Structure 1
Amino acid sequence: MRISEYALEVGIIQKKILLIDDELIFIESITKALKSCSRQWHFAAVDNPADGIMHLKRESYDLVLLDIIMDPVDGWDTLARIRNLPNGVDIPVILFSVKNLQLDEIIRYGNYLSGFIKKPFVDAELCETLTEFFSWYDLLISNAKAAKTQGVPDDICARWVRVVRQIHAYSRLLEFVSPYCIPDSVLSDEECKEKRMKQINQIIDDRIKERDRLKILYPVFSL
């Protein structure tokens, strides 16, 4: 049995989840799915970004599930507003969409995300994705807390969590890349994709180097 399956079975993952989506049908669908996942998951659902921001101002959440295609404020603008909140800098955000991600979107927003889920999906897929994320992320947070008790500064621990989360997220975002690239007046579609992928790989390489540097400076970091 995998760790995530064990955690789900014994009910040890107690989490607060906020869903932001302007489609009531999808809100009903994901509410049903979340209820089937775990009794330990408590969640709120709102049908517009403004209400979602108000929820985040009043309460703390362990995860935000955010739809990209919303009107008049889309998921990208909502993500920026979340990150500008005092308590929204590091809260994990997983996106939903019926469309795959553009390479430019991954380059621009990858640092701020924790994952992506493609619509539509079955309940079991959502449960597995979220359970595995929480299991992995809890280990990361526990590692950072252990480092703090051993004298590692708060800002270094926060940086460790951020960098490892970003590495983890980029690899998952790349699983949902659109086969098309928006070329400019000079590059062809293939050249555009090649250039964007080099940019993303460079970002990942930079984060890996920073992660490894932190592990050398502070051996208590173990992930």
Structure 2
Amino acid sequence: MGKNPKKILIIDDEAVFREAMTRALTSCGYRCVPEEDPAKGIMRLKREPYDLVLLDIMMDPVDGWDTLAHLRTFSNGRETPVIMASAKKLNIDEVIRYGEYLAGFVEKPFVDTEFCDAIDEFFDWYDPLIANANAARLQGVSPDICTSWIRVGRQIKAITQMLEYVNPSCIPDESMSEDECMDRRMAQVREILERKRRERDNIKILYPVFSI
């Protein structure tokens, strides 16, 4: 990580996982700030910048999805990448509802080295994306377009990754079977991804400086 290691905020109400993530990431060179209380984690992010937030889903009394929604209401929270970490499988409705607000998903429990590898791989992908946007800004591309470029790339990666961890079932209503329900939800996800890819491709066409 060099002289300026990445700073990661960990929000998890279970001490065993909070400590395990901190231990693993510290051992591979990251600076970790663990926080048990989601409200305190939110306040930390309001006060100071972080390179990444690792957020648990199953927390009480405020779960990870509600915490994510709150994070996205202020500037640091909107642009800081958030990776959800959970022992539960995702359901397809969570992908549809929250995928656009995330940067990825990691499954618990984990092997320390594999967890480090997952976070390393994220930054190996994300840092060039940020560098590309910064270069575009220096060449006169508007900050709003640069932010959109970062955001849409992050969204495509997150939604695609989340699909690897989806529980292959769906709660149907009386008009459809479980399989039909899942097929319909998957069609919604494919539509979201197609829309996001079109947005990314349109930015590249209008601003050839974007290359990642």
Residues 101-124 of structure 1: per-residue CA shift (max 9 Å, x gap): 110000000000011111111001
User: Displacement of 1:94 after TM fit?
Assistant: 0.4
Structure 1 vs Structure 2: percent identity of aligned residues? 57
CA distance in 1, matches of 2:17, 2:199: 39
Gaps of 5+ in 1: 1-7
The alignment partner of 1:94 has SS state of strand
1:15 aligns to 2:2 (yes or no)? no
TM-score (norm 2): 0.97
CA distance in 1, matches of 2:168, 2:4: 36
- RMSD of Structure 2 on Structure 1 (CA): 1.1
Instruction: Say whether the 8 Å CA contact 1:19–1:64 is kept in structure 2.
Output: yes
Q: Which residue of 2 aligns with 1:31?
A: 22
Q: Which residue of 2 aligns with 1:4?
A: none
In structure 2, the CA distance between the partners of 1:13 and 1:168, relative to structure 1 (3 Å rule), is: farther
TM-score (norm 1): 0.92
User: Displacement of 1:12 after TM fit?
Assistant: 6.8
The alignment partner of 1:44 has SS state of strand
**1:1-223 map, 5 Å:** 11=2, 14-38=5-29, 41-223=30-212
Tell me the number of residue pairs that the alignment of Structure 1 and Structure 2 aligns.
212
Residues 8-34 of structure 1: per-residue CA shift (max 9 Å, x gap): 6xx477211000000011111111111
* Aligned amino acid, residue 52 of structure 2: L
Q: Which residue of 2 aligns with 1:3?
A: none
The alignment partner of 1:73 has SS state of coil
In structure 2, the CA distance between the partners of 1:98 and 1:62, relative to structure 1 (3 Å rule), is: same
Gaps of 5+ in 2: none
